[in-house]
Amino acid sequence: MNRFVVYPGTFDPITNGHLDIIKRAVKLFGEIVVLVVRHPEKLPLFSLQERIKLIQKVTANCKGVKVDSLDGLLMNYVKDKEIRVVIRGLRAVSDFDYEFQMTQLNRRLYSEVETIFIMPTEEYFFLSSAMVKEIASYGGDISQFVPSAVAKALKDKFRIKN
Ligand code: ADP
């Protein structure tokens, strides 16, 4: 078992793309921590607790997945918990610039951690939480993009809002 691998993100909400990365990372490392970052500046649709609960629900059958949360700097968390590997997902070219900058900056803050990028299956190359939220907000069918518990949570959210 490897408790030293973390997969951080906003997960607002978790999608099949995130799940694809989680499963690949678990295969590689045996155990990973999915780290839900609060990110209030991103004005998430789901609260931190809701995001955590959804991840716990949809990964309940994935052995080796733990969920934790963070309200602060990733590199402080990583240092504190003696994490050795940060996992990030890499989709289309558009992710590259942001991820490149972030990895370089994180390395300046703490050089002992390695960021590893995993690509999802091509079906999920263009899938993002933002896109799923937009489709759901117009009542579109998102069942192929997210687990059913997440689809239901999105429906409930937009029903409440409308
Ligand atoms: P953040 O706000 O940190 O980018 P996200 O929840 O949007 O948080 O994404 C977390 C990580 O998962 C990022 O590395 C992102 O590139 C990756 N990711 C998001 N969607 C997908 C997807 N469809 N396929 C692969 N990786 C993804």
pLDDT tens-digit profile of 103-146?
A: 999 999 999 999 999 999 999 999 999 999 999 999 999 999 99
- Which residue owns the Cα nearest ligand 1 atom 18? 89
The tens digit of pLDDT for each residue in 15-52 reads: 999 999 999 999 999 999 999 999 989 999 999 999 99
Residue with tokens 């499963």: 23
User: Is residue 128 in contact with ligand 1, taking CB distance under 6 Å?
Assistant: yes
Four-residue CA torsion sign, 128, 8, 38, 15: positive
Contact 46, 12 (CB under 8 A): yes
The predicted model scores a pTM of 0.95
Contact 118, 25 (CB under 8 A): yes
Contact 2, 27 (CB under 8 A): no
How many residues does the structure list for the chain? 162
Ligand 1 center–CA 18 separation, angstroms: 6
Q: Closest Cα partner for 144 from 133, 132, 159?
A: 132
